Amino acid sequence: MNSNDQKAALTALSTLLSPLVRIMIRLNIPFGSFAEAARQAYVRVADEEFQLSGKKQTASRIAVLTGLTRKDVARIRDLPEDNDTALNERFNRCTRVISGWLQDPRFSRNGKPLALVIDGAEPSFKSLVGQFSGDMPMRAVLDELARVGATALDSQGRVRLNKAAYVPSSDQADKLAMLGRDTADLIDTIDHNLTTQGVDTRFQLKVEYDNLSLEAIEAFRRFSDQHSMALLRQYDEWLARHDRDVHHDLPGTGRYRAGVSLFYFEQNLHATKKEPHP
């Protein structure tokens, strides 16, 4: 990489870090903890993705690649590995349950989810969970969807779906975990497009205008929410038909993860800057 590319990358890094640092400061996470997380990421990526063909990755090579000392590399490689498998499993299974509820004609009518008895006469919430969540206990799914406000019991004790998506809205730790996962997906797509040419590039586009009125912003926010949700429902329906966790007899080789992420953004360009802190 030439010096111009490195300068552009560092400028992009500074822009990327600003909203992230805002979150870190708000959560009282000091720079030392951030720096340690960066060290660990450098070592992990160098260890897993920059090996020489046919050779075992060494602490010395990782030190050369990262600029860290061999002592730091050895220390970090000995740390226990962080694991968010439980969160990912919970997210994926709850998402599949809601998708099945909306799409399977046993549990919906014309795309509108039915109110389901918890157990007993069909269609039941228990059979819905059994069909779409794998081996996750029915009560665990019921409690989790109720916790995030996705479901509620009606006056007859039936389970009703309140939201067409699983969003862990009531748990700060879950939101922060999604910060890592969703942002990593975006950066991974950008990295792929930086190193790939032609038909193998991944879709990465946005539309923005920078001279809109408050009234236009409020209208566009409602417009984008409505149309983005409709588009995501179409993607979800397509992916659900090809999900081998539910449709075990589907043909095909390998195991891949894929999806599309949509998000809305806005910024008040006339907002006055805060006075410097003493």
Q: pLDDT tens digits, residue range 137-153?
A: 899 999 989 988 899 99
> In this predicted structure, what is the pLDDT of residue 274?
55
- Burial group, residue 57, by CB count within 10 angstroms (0-12, 13-18, 19+): middle
Q: What is the mean pLDDT of residues 57-78?
A: 95
pLDDT of residue 42: 96
Question: In this model, does residue 61 exceed pLDDT 90?
Answer: yes
Query: Please, what is the angle between helix 70-77 and helix 59-66, to 10°?
Result: 110
* Burial of 259 from C-beta contacts in 10 A (0-12 / 13-18 / 19+): exposed
Under DSSP, the state recorded for 117 is B
Q: What are phi and psi of 39, to 5 degrees?
A: -60, -45
Global model pTM greater than 0.75? no
Mean pLDDT of 40-58: 93
Please give the angle made by the CA atoms of 84, 88 and 91, to the nearest 5 degrees.
Answer: 140
